[in-house]
């Protein structure tokens, strides 16, 4: 046997080869630098697979028990950081099997009976992402809970609502926060919905065509907590739809966090001065001592692009791949891991920051009354007097122009001045021109009235307690 053949044989797949792999290619093709985080899931799936091999008399039971004990030892070493990662061993599967062989000898090679690295890695990443999805759902629940608490404390804190970044109609801070609660509610539902599609077992599909051994895939699925098995072996090893779904849900969640971040950044600026962010989530300037920069919302807004990029990377990766497994698919892990890590860190920092947000109620109230925000209420007042809305709209437009010329708000015009525009306006108009009256007139479900928002918060609390 030549030296080059000896070197090639050092690979677990090396029997076919007569030359060693190029040293740069070895480094270029290794994935251990990022798939090492899968070791817990790889060993858990391997243990169940081995138990199944013993139960089905595919390997002797005594050997199955020996392999499982060895896997426990490998896991302990990895837990304690005692097993160094080596590029020559390529991936986490090779590291585990190589160390197992060192510990228990050639019998370790029987662990790979009736499976391939193709169905092995597909199983590992599903186990890993199932755990991450559950953690994300819990983090969203915590953020929702903290948003609810802040909203409940500020049901009557009036602020301007905007369209086109222009003051439109008065709302309340509590009502505004509940809009983000609804977004997060949908986000959590998406992660809940996709979990069932994620939670299917690929193991037993082997490389692409299934296995000739009498495996019990349904037993393995039950032991690993899967809801069922992947029904087609080709699809099982080449499917990454579940990862795309997770990144799509993550991207949309980050969109919502980014929109919230943008508003927090605006609201905390001196030009708005609607809120104060807690000091622990801001930084100062190296040159301007007066500055308090909203770094956390800015970073969340920026990190949203990373998650979008991960989604686009994975979809681009998958779009042209023929069945079944291709080495391109090794590139799925880095964007998936990065997106999941990014989302979880952003959810955590938001959940920690939200309780410390301090609305500046006086400033918000003043801003809510500016910009003729109760003009629509005046139009509605006229409609209730049997004036067609389009006519009412025109009448109020003329009244707003009068107020602009005089430099006053609508509620500062006298009755006589408004009657110069339309004599059908009566003294009771004063009751609709305050911001409080405007807000509390919105009593329909989903509206901004104090009692309506309280009812929405009560309903949300019940849902949070029941479903998260």
Residues with active-site annotation: 164, 285
Question: Tokens representing 146?
Answer: 């903290």
SS3 167: strand
Contact 438, 430 (CB under 8 A): no
Strands 228-229 and 166-172, by their bridges, are unpaired
SS3 44: helix
- Distance CA(299)–CA(263), nearest Å, equals 14
Strand partners, 283: 293
SS3 236: helix
Could you give the dihedral angle defined by the CA atoms of residues 281, 287, 289 and 291, in that order, rounded to the nearest 10 degrees?
A: -40
- Distance CA(415)–CA(417), nearest Å, equals 5
Strands 228-229 and 200-201, by their bridges, are parallel
- Could you count the other beta carbons within 10 Å of the beta carbon of residue 394? 15
- Distance CA(223)–CA(233), nearest Å, equals 20
Nearest by Cα to 252 from 167, 175, 319, 188: 188
What residues contact 266, with CB distance under 8 A and at least 6 apart? Answer: 272
Contact 335, 247 (CB under 8 A): yes
Residue 51 CA to its chain's centroid (Å): 35
Query: In terms of C-beta density within 10 A (0-12 exposed, 13-18 middle, 19 or more buried), how is residue 361 classed?
Result: middle
Find the farthest-apart pair of alpha carbons in the chain and give their distance in angstroms, rounded: 109
SS3 59: coil
What phi, psi does 314 have (nearest 5°)?
-70, -40
Place of tokens 């000898």: 105
């Amino acid at each position: 046997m030549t030296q080059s053949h000896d070197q090639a044989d050092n690979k677990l797949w090396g029997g076919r080869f007569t030359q060693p792999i190029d040293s740069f290619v070895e480094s270029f093709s290794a994935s251990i630098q990022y798939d090492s985080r899968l070791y817990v899931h790889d060993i858990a799936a391997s243990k169940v697979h081995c138990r199944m091999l013993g139960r089905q008399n595919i390997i002797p039971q005594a050997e199955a028990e020996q392999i499982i004990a060895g896997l426990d030892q490998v896991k302990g070493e990895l837990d304690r950081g005692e097993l160094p990662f080596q590029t020559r061993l390529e991936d986490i599967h090779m590291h585990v099997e190589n160390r197992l062989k060192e510990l228990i000898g050639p019998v370790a090679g029987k662990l790979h009976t009736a499976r391939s690295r193709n169905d092995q890695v597909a199983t590992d990443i599903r186990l890993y992402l199932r755990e991450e999805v559950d953690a994300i759902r819990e983090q969203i629940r915590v953020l929702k809970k903290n948003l609810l608490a802040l909203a409940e404390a500020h049901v009557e804190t009036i602020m301007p609502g905007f369209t086109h970044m222009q003051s439109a109609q008065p709302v309340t801070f509590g009502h505004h926060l509940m809009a983000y609660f609804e977004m997060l509610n949908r986000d959590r539902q998406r992660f809940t919905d996709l979990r069932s599609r994620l939670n299917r077992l690929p193991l037993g599909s082997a490389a692409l065509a299934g296995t000739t051994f009498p495996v019990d895939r349904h037993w393995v699925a039950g032991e690993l907590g899967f809801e069922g098995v992947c029904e087609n072996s080709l699809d099982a090893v080449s499917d990454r739809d579940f990862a795309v779904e997770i990144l799509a849900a993550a991207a949309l969640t980050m969109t919502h966090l980014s929109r919230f971040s943008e508003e927090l950044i605006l609201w905390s600026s001196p030009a708005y001065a609607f809120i104060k962010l807690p000091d622990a989530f801001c930084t100062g300037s190296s040159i301007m001592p007066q500055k308090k920069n909203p770094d956390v919302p800015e970073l969340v807004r920026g990190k949203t692009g990373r998650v979008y990029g991960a989604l686009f990377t994975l979809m681009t990766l998958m779009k042209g791949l023929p069945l079944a497994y291709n080495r391109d698919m090794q590139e799925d892990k880095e964007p998936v891991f990065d997106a999941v890590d990014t989302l979880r860190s952003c959810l955590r920092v938001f959940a920690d920051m939200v309780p410390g947000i301090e609305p500046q109620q006086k400033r918000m109230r003043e801003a809510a009354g500016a910009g003729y925000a109760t003009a629509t209420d005046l139009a509605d007042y006229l409609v209730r007097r049997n004036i067609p809305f389009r006519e009412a709209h025109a009448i109020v437009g003329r009244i707003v122009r009068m107020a602009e010329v005089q430099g006053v708000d609508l509620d500062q015009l006298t009755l006589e001045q408004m009657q110069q525009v339309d004599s059908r306006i009566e003294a009771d108009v004063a009751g609709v021109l305050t911001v409080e009256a405007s807000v509390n007139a919105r009593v329909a479900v989903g509206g901004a009235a104090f009692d309506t928002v309280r009812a929405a918060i009560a309903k949300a609390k019940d849902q949070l307690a029941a479903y998260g």
